[in-house]
Amino acid sequence: MPSPLEHAQQALSEGQSRLIDDYRPDYHLAPVAGWMNDPNGVVFFRGEYHVFYQHHPFDAKWGPMYWGHAKSADLVHWQHLPIALAPGDDFDRHGCFSGSAVVCGDTLALIYTGHTWLGEVGDERFIRQVQCLATSVDGIQFIKHGAVIEDAPQETIMHFRDPKVWQEDGHWYLIAGARLGDKPLLPLYRSIDLHTWEFLDYVSSGNEGDGYMWECPDLFRLNGRDVLLYSPQGMQPEGYERLNKYQTGYRIGRLDNEWHFTGGPFIELDNGHDFYAAQTLEAADGRRLVWAWLDMWESPMPSQAHHWCGMLGLPRELELQGDRLGVFPARELTALRQAPLPSIAPWGEPGSRWVPQVQGDRLEIHVHLDLLGCTEGHLGIALRCSADEQEQTLLYYDASLQRLVLDRSRSGAQVSGQRSVSIEPTQTQLHLRVFLDRSSIEVFEENGRFSFSSRLYPRPDSLGVKLLANGTGGRVAIPKAWPLDSGWL
C-alpha cells in the first residue's frame, strides 16, 4: 500500500502526462500538475531558497491541502522537489493548511495549520484548526510532530490558521490569523524550542470595515519600523481601492512592549487583479523578499481545463519609503534576460503603431511615458496583441483621470476588468518595468511606488506589441526589452 505522499506523487506523474502548456509560465513557480495557491513557507536553508505552497495534486481545483515544494540557488532557476506534507493524521486529517518555515540549528522546520472538518465537509461552522510542527534534516523528507498549539486563545474561535514564525532575541515568535464571530484577531505566541508555546496577547484586531478574517499575517521589522502584512477577507471596495474579492496589504507602525501593534492605514501591496496571501523572508544579505499567489479566489481559471492551476508571482524586494513600502522585482531576475531587442524611440503621433521588433509571451519590457503636455486621451502600450486586434492587454495613462490603467477587457479567455493607480499631476515621467510570462503580467514602477499583478489568458499566437497615443501631447518609448529564458532546471 503506497503512503499518502507516494500516492500524491503518482497522481502528479499521471496529471503531468495530460498537461496542456498554452498558459503555463516559463519562469514563475507553478505546480507540476494539479492545484496551487498560497506560498506556505519561504526559507533560506543550506545555501538555497525553498518555497513551499498549498497544493492539491489530484485535481486542478482546490481540495485537501498538501504542501508542494521547490528550491532555487539563485531565485531564478527552480527545481521541483517531492511533496513535503500530506494530510491524513488525526490533527490534519482534511488538510495541511498554510504556515511557514524556519531553520532551527541544522533542521528545517515547517509550522502549519492542521485542518479537520468536524461535520459535513465544507461546513465552516464546524471545523477544528490546530498549529502543527514537522521537521527535516535533509530539507526533503519531513517528520510530523503533531499539534504544538492545540487550542485557540478563546474557546469560541474556530478559524485559527496560517502561523508565521520568526526568531528574535533568543525566542521563537508565532503570529496567526483568527476569527471571533466576524471580528479578525492576530494572536501572538512565544517559544524557546518550537514545541511548547505561550500565548502573549493579540497583536491587533479589526474594527468595523476591516473585514472578518485576516489571513496569512506576517510581522517584520524594516529600517527600524514594524510592518504588519496580512490578507483581509470581507473588506468592501471604495472608489478605485480594494476591487478584488480579497486583498493583501500592510500597515506600518510599532509593536510596543505590551505586544500591541499601532500603525497607519491599511495599504494594498499590489494594485492588480491577482495578488494574495503574501509571505516574506529575510534573505541572507538582509533584504526583505516577498512572494504571493498570482491568482484570486472566485476568479476565472481557464488553465483548470489544462489539468493545472495557480502560480506564484515573481520574488520581490521590499523597501521602506517613508510611510509606504516600495516594491521592486528581485535584482537576480536580470539573469533571465537573453539578447536585447531593439529599442523603440519616443513616439506620440495620434493612433496606434505596431512594434514588430518587440513581440512575444515571455518578455521584460521597459516602458517610458513622457506625460508632458498629455492633457487628454490615453498614452501607453498594448501587449499580447493578436494579428486581428481582437485580443490585447492595455497599459496606459488616462489623462482625464490622471491614473495609470491596466485594462484586461480583451486579454483573452474569461478575464476582464480594469485596475489603476493615481499619478500625481506634477509627475511628467513614468518609467515602468513590465514582465510577461504566457498567462501573466506584472508591472513595476521604477521607484517602487506601485505594482500591478494580473493573470491573462490570450491565445498562444497573440504576441504583438503596439504603442498607443490617442489624445493630446505626450510620448511613449520602449528604451529596453529582452526575451526571457526559462527559470526551470
pLDDT at 143: 98
Place of cell 522537489: 81
Distance CA 318, CA 329 (A): 9
Q: Is the pLDDT of residue 464 over 80?
A: yes
Q: Is the pLDDT of residue 342 over 90?
A: yes
Is the domain of 325 the same as that of 382? no
Grade residue 119 by pLDDT with cuts at 50, 70 and 90: confident
CATH number at residue 138: 2.115.10.20
Give the SS3 label for residue 238.
strand
* C-alpha 321: how far from chain center: 21
Distance CA 102, CA 194 (A): 10
Instruction: Compute the half-sphere exposure of residue 46: CA atoms within 13 Å on the CB side of its CA.
Output: 10
Is the domain of 76 the same as that of 113? yes
Q: Is the pLDDT of residue 2 over 90?
A: no
Residue 173 · residue 181 · CB < 8 Å: no
Distance CA 476, CA 371 (A): 9
- Residue 443 grid coordinates: 508591472
Query: Which of 295, 300, 289 shows the shortest CA–CA distance to 276?
Result: 295
Number of domains in the chain: 2
Q: Is residue 489 part of a domain?
A: no
Q: Is the pLDDT of residue 252 over 80?
A: yes
User: Which domain range does residue 87 map to?
Assistant: 4-333
Query: Which of 375, 383, 344 shows the shortest CA–CA distance to 464?
Result: 383
Place of cell 506576517: 218
Q: Is residue 488 part of a domain?
A: no
Mean pLDDT, the chain, as a whole number? 97
Is the domain of 283 the same as that of 354? no
Residue 31 · residue 39 · CB < 8 Å: no
Q: Is residue 465 part of a domain?
A: yes
Domain limit, last residue, from 291, 307, 333: 333
pLDDT digit string (tens) for 260-296? Answer: 999 999 999 999 999 999 999 999 899 999 999 999 9
Give the SS3 label for residue 264.
coil
Is the domain of 305 the same as that of 375? no
Distance CA 54, CA 66 (A): 6
Q: List 376's β-bridge partners, or say none.
A: 472
pLDDT at 471: 86
Distance CA 318, CA 291 (A): 11
Is the domain of 265 the same as that of 403? no
Grade residue 202 by pLDDT with cuts at 50, 70 and 90: very high
Is the domain of 415 the same as that of 286? no
Least confident of 44-53, 120-129, 364-373, 449-458: 120-129
Is the domain of 307 the same as that of 398? no
pLDDT at 121: 79
**Ranges assigned E (strand) in 15-92:** 34-45, 48-56, 66-72, 78-80
Q: Is the pLDDT of residue 79 over 90?
A: yes
pLDDT above 70 coverage of the chain, percent = 100
Mean pLDDT of 50-69: 98
Q: Which of 21, 22, 26, 38 is catalytic?
A: 38
Distance CA 330, CA 314 (A): 8
Distance CA 361, CA 375 (A): 32
Is the domain of 89 the same as that of 211? yes
Distance CA 274, CA 442 (A): 10
Q: Is 398 among the catalytic positions? A: no
Q: Is the pLDDT of residue 122 over 80?
A: no
Q: Is residue 176 part of a domain?
A: yes
Mean pLDDT of 131-144: 98
CATH number at residue 465: 2.60.120.560
